[in-house]
Structure 1
């Protein structure tokens, strides 16, 4: 019997998708799912090649499989990750003027202050949920402050973002609750942009309004779509990166000792490779292509699997080992080419600070993954809940 891959098969795939990914790479590097109408690419060279070839592997219909989300309307919620050049080029250039590396770096003192608050409160209790009490609220607080979301609205924004990504077991489309959450999120961000248009503040929403220097400025709808993308994708990436890093360090005591001895950045990079928090993206073919002897027609929906690419033995030695000594420079986690993740540096910064604060305050800890749970989503991999106990120093 041949390999079968259903990204919505949560119990079969999400608990441990890597055996399926390995079979895809070896048995069906161009895999066809007739029911869901997609082809999947799992080998490192193919995934990275597609990321770097927007002329053939288009993002214009968005990165999501669901028919309600796939199509030209995807840009309304997914901003420039649902665009191709030259529209993508203009949008990314303008957004980058406001979302600068310096602006991100300047956040470090405030991120550390927020992290210390969450970590101290959790450790004081002794037993807590790593995700609910630390990994999820921190990026929500940071991105909300960066964007300009009022403090009273932040928990609701996080809830709505989670609801929009959640899929009920057995379902393959965004449900009514998810659609309602998306619309409510857009309402939150529209109110912020309208307020900043009347009165600028020291936040990203204001900076985006002033990003244009010698060209047409961003419209309100374009700013709202980018903020929606940042809040949704930014929260999920950091939350799952923190949870995955802590889980795999717990599972590998030898690697944990290295990580806890001052190598948090290496720990983060190997976690990004080993257990990719965003394991699936979609592209649409703009012309006929042949890969591995398989003809792919123009208009075909192509699922790219960076999570599979990151464990391809053609790209990494001993890819199934969690090893923070390895060179992770070729990983496909944040994409490649013109769509390389704009928020990668923020996710790394937030995760580094949280992990440093936890390592510096812990004398001992234990996890209970059996009591935890994973999110029901084809697009994020990590933990929705991860109970743990900790002894402070």
Structure 2
């Protein structure tokens, strides 16, 4: 990801010139939704010849692909970048780069920690961590909402889950933030991103080694004891899982929190309702309207026909859940940000066997983050002049979101209890 361009609200589409969908384009990152709308109506099976991939933008088509992992396989990973798209993607993405049944066998090893029941029991811990991040920021009156709160909180939670010492949480987040940075139109990672990946790998190897000597009650220590077909997981497999959990567990969640904050600022009625009594609805409509998760890649395993277009076996296909969430065939007036909307059909967390393992945790984290700050402030403002978006082919959100707040005369809600 990269953070050098200012945020903008609109990118116009010239009706006489078909737009180019290029997930590596910084211009697209500023606002991809007009391009998605054109694709849904004019090229639901879109072809990018230069980068050699197809893209599916309609809700029904994305859902079909997610539900049929034999046709739309994860075995080459979920990234279009040449360096990440290969049959050994599982070495860095663990079970995310596997298909059933192997995928399910490994996912089951950790799924118990992410059930809705287990996540509910984590609520007070999450609230406590939210307050610890939030209170010093509110004393300042002005702070970077994206970096200092929205991104920090999910990172704290997932690092704590896997047993990383609190003193290292901010270092882990700094390197995680750099993993997906790209130059404008570039697929290859810049040197800073490569170095961040190497630092994380080295840290995770040391972390696993230390826990083998002195295990704790954390998720990483649990993985040291599990067996797959009678064999323990290797250190490299556990390190791959840590990469998966920490990158997936803090990137998307933090960006959704920031996106909710931004859209609340754009829509004063939403801001008032969200701060006062509707953080849950604020969370869910943001997940639909402006999800952090924009694109995931799949490998087509057989010739497949959609909308009279043949997707040849061996093709790369980009699935666009963020576009599907704006499909008028499913959501009425989809470009309206509406807290009263039925969001039950959103596909921000995927579907089928690869439905996001941490979905329940992410929704709770987002809701609590918004609820806790809403209990302590009555209003806020954003200085968009200094806001910066990330630049990633997969993730949409803010790297910097300068915010000033007005404190409530008397705190209310959970924080006041």
**CA deviation digits over 1:44-71, x for unaligned, max 9?**
0000110110000000000111100111
**CA deviation digits over 1:33-90, x for unaligned, max 9?**
1111100000000001101100000000001111001111211111111111121011
SS of equivalent residue, structure 2 residue 310? strand
Alignment counterpart, residue 166 of structure 1, candidates 181, 190, 211: 181
| Shift in Å, 1:215 | 4.8
Alignment counterpart, residue 334 of structure 2, candidates 313, 316, 319: 319
Please give the residue correspondences for 1:24-39 in structure 2 after superposition, counting only pairs within 5 Å. Answer: 24-39=39-54
| Shift in Å, 1:364 | 2.1
Q: Where in structure 1 do 4 or more consecutive aligned residues deviate above 6 Å?
A: none
Please give the residue correspondences for 1:36-115 in structure 2 after superposition, counting only pairs within 5 Å. Answer: 36-115=51-130
2:368 equivalent to 1:353: yes
1:369 aligned partner? 384
Please give the residue correspondences for 1:161-310 in structure 2 after superposition, counting only pairs within 5 Å. Answer: 161-212=176-227, 215-310=230-325
2:20 equivalent to 1:4: yes
Unaligned runs of 5+ in 2: 1-16, 409-417
Specify whether residues 15 and 277 from structure 1 end up closer, same or farther in structure 2 by C-alpha distance, changes over 3 A only. Answer: same
Contact 2:275 2:378 in 1 (8 A): no
Could you tell me how far apart the structure 1 residues matched to 2:170 and 2:212 are?
A: 25
| Shift in Å, 1:212 | 4.1
Could you tell me how far apart the structure 2 residues matched to 1:64 and 1:185 are?
A: 19
Alignment counterpart, residue 142 of structure 2, candidates 108, 127, 136: 127
Could you tell me how far apart the structure 2 residues matched to 1:22 and 1:318 are?
A: 12
Could you tell me how far apart the structure 1 residues matched to 2:186 and 2:391 are?
A: 10
TM-score, length-normalised on structure 1? 0.96
Contact 1:97 1:211 in 2 (8 A): no
Could you tell me how far apart the structure 1 residues matched to 2:340 and 2:19 are?
A: 32
| Shift in Å, 1:196 | 1.8
148-157 vs 49-58, greater mean Cα deviation: 148-157
91-100 vs 324-333, greater mean Cα deviation: 91-100
Specify whether residues 100 and 199 from structure 1 end up closer, same or farther in structure 2 by C-alpha distance, changes over 3 A only. Answer: farther
Could you tell me how far apart the structure 2 residues matched to 1:104 and 1:230 are?
A: 15
54-63 vs 203-212, greater mean Cα deviation: 203-212
| Shift in Å, 1:152 | 2.5
| Shift in Å, 1:290 | 0.8
377-386 vs 73-82, greater mean Cα deviation: 73-82
| Shift in Å, 1:102 | 4.5
Could you tell me how far apart the structure 2 residues matched to 1:66 and 1:214 are?
A: 33
1:331 aligned partner? 346
Could you tell me how far apart the structure 1 residues matched to 2:149 and 2:300 are?
A: 40
217-226 vs 333-342, greater mean Cα deviation: 217-226
- Number of equivalenced pairs: 392
110-119 vs 203-212, greater mean Cα deviation: 203-212
SS of equivalent residue, structure 2 residue 81? coil
SS of equivalent residue, structure 1 residue 32? strand
SS of equivalent residue, structure 2 residue 398? coil
TM-score, length-normalised on structure 2? 0.91
| Shift in Å, 1:248 | 0.9
Unaligned runs of 5+ in 1: none
Could you tell me how far apart the structure 1 residues matched to 2:290 and 2:238 are?
A: 31
Could you tell me how far apart the structure 2 residues matched to 1:55 and 1:235 are?
A: 29
Specify whether residues 283 and 7 from structure 1 end up closer, same or farther in structure 2 by C-alpha distance, changes over 3 A only. Answer: same
Q: Cα RMSD (Å) of the superposition?
A: 1.6
Contact 1:3 1:28 in 2 (8 A): no
